[in-house]
């Protein structure tokens, strides 16, 4: 196998990992996952009900009890993190549901409570249809005081897929929000998902091409998990959905990485499903195997993140 040609690496990785980024800025961090008790417009009827077909509590099963205050959740999360990473900085990660979906005074109170805990930064997961001008102004203010990342859930750039998964907004809403955040100087991480119903590899690569043109600061690549109790689980159990195989997932992830700019930090390259509720794909339980297979296959192909990236789009 050829020597690693990727410049943003200190190990065998051929993509721009968060670990590499943290070493470059000399600040290792861990995320304290929080539930701010907010809802989602795709749950309360504003733009839909039931959420996306794969939604299982808005990613809240990794958080502390949402009935606790942000201060109390941060304290518990910090104690958990310090057991393994006593020297690392703490990122207050507003993870569950849509964390800009409230009036601006409520949001200010939540964010200020995290800031008072002297965290290293704040990360806010949200939807692009939930950032109005007043919220954007608040985010810009927070970013001027503490490192801030806004994490936008996109999943797919294809509007037909968006309708199929009940996402509740078209791609143009995402791209407009992205432009507004970028103009405000706010760091952006985009979530995409591979294996969505009705999507083949070409569709998944189209999403990577769309992001490549935007040059996000970070990207999280998720595998679609079939979780018991979701609408997707009903479709799967009736034979209407076939999950990706490990080989298919590894192939499409590598091809997506080839399209993304080298500078974009790949903050996640596979997701974590609730193992107690996971129906499929069961191979995703072995995360180390998934990561190792991606690394091995990238080396075997002698490829790397950004190998096919072109800012003018000619090779995308």
pLDDT in tens, 138-189: 999 999 999 999 999 999 999 999 999 999 999 999 999 999 999 999 999 9
The pLDDT of residue 59:
56
Residue 26's domain is classified under what CATH number? 3.20.20.70
- If one compares 273 and 166, the residue with the highest pLDDT of the two is 166
Q: Is 98 within 8 Å of 39 (Cβ atoms)? A: yes
Strand partners, 153: 191
Contacts of 249 (CB under 8 A, 6+ apart): 194, 195, 223, 270, 290
pLDDT digits (tens, 9 = 90+) for 211-255: 999 999 999 999 999 999 999 999 999 999 999 999 999 999 999
Is the pLDDT confidence value at 277 over 90?
A: yes
Task: Please report the DSSP string for the chain in residue order.
Answer: -PPP--SS-SSS--S-BHHHHHHHTT--EEEEEE------TTTSSSS-SS-STT-SSTTGGGS--TTS-HHHHHHHHHHHHHTT-TT-EEEEEE-SS-TT-S-HHHHHHHHHHHHTTT-SEEEEEE-GGG--HHHHHHHHHHHTTS-EEEEEEEE-S-HHHHHHTT--S-HHHHHHHHHHHHHTT-EEEEEEEES-TT--HHHHHHHHHHHHHH--SEEEEEEPPEETTSHHHHHHHTT---PPPHHHHHHHHHHHHHHS-TTSEEEESS----TTTEEE-GGGG-HHHHHHHHHHHHHHTT--TTTT--TTSTT-
Within a domain: 232: yes
Residue-range definition of the domain harbouring residue 44: 18-300
pLDDT digits (tens, 9 = 90+) for 9-31: 988 899 999 999 988 887 889 99
Within a domain: 7: no
Within a domain: 217: yes
Is the pLDDT confidence value at 312 over 70?
A: no
The pLDDT of residue 311:
67
Q: How far apart are CA 27 and CA 83, in angstroms?
A: 18
Within a domain: 101: yes
pLDDT digits (tens, 9 = 90+) for 55-86: 886 555 566 677 899 999 999 999 999 999 99
pLDDT digits (tens, 9 = 90+) for 199-209: 999 999 999 99
pLDDT digits (tens, 9 = 90+) for 96-154: 999 999 999 999 999 999 999 989 999 999 999 999 999 999 999 999 999 999 999 99
The pLDDT of residue 18:
92
Share of the chain above pLDDT 90, in %: 82
136 φ/ψ angles, rounded to the nearest 5 degrees: -60, -40
What is the pTM assigned to this prediction?
Answer: 0.94
Within a domain: 306: no
The pLDDT of residue 273:
81
Please give the average per-residue pLDDT across 38-51, as a whole number: 87
Our count of domains for the chain comes to 1
Within a domain: 245: yes
The pLDDT of residue 315:
47
Within a domain: 3: no
The pLDDT of residue 230:
95
The pLDDT of residue 314:
44
The pLDDT of residue 191:
98
Within a domain: 312: no
The pLDDT of residue 63:
63
């Amino acid at each position: 196998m050829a020597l690693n040609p990727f410049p943003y690496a200190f190990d065998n990785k051929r993509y721009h990992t968060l670990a590499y980024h943290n070493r470059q800025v000399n600040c290792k961090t861990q995320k304290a996952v929080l539930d701010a008790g907010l809802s989602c417009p795709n749950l309360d009827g504003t733009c839909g009900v039931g959420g996306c077909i794969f939604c299982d509590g808005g990613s809240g099963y990794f958080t502390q009890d949402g009935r606790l205050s942000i201060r109390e959740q941060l304290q518990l999360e910090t104690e958990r993190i310090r057991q393994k990473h006593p020297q690392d900085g703490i990122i207050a990660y507003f993870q569950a549901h849509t964390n800009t979906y409230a009036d601006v005074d409520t949001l200010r109170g939540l964010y200020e409570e995290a800031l008072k805990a002297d965290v290293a930064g704040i990360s806010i997961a949200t939807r692009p249809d939930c950032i109005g001008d007043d919220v954007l102004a608040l985010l810009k203010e927070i970013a001027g005081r503490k490192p801030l990342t806004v994490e936008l859930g996109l999943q797919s750039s294809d509007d037909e897929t968006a309708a199929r998964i009940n996402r509740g907004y078209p791609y143009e809403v995402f791209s407009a929000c992205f432009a507004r955040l970028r103009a405000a100087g706010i760091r952006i991480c985009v979530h995409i998902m591979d294996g969505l119903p009705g999507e083949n590899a070409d569709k998944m690569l189209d999403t990577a091409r769309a992001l490549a043109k935007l040059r996000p600061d970070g990207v999280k690549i998720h595998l679609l998990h079939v979780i018991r109790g979701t609408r997707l689980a009903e479709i799967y159990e009736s034979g209407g959905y076939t999950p990706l195989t490990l080989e298919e997932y590894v192939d499409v992830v590598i091809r997506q990485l080839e399209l993304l700019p080298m500078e974009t930090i790949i903050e996640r390259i596979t997701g974590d499903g609730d193992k107690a509720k996971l129906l499929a794909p069961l191979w995703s339980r072995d995360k180390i195997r998934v990561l190792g297979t991606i690394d091995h296959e990238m080396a075997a192909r002698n490829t790397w993140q950004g190998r096919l990236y072109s800012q003018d789009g000619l090779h995308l």
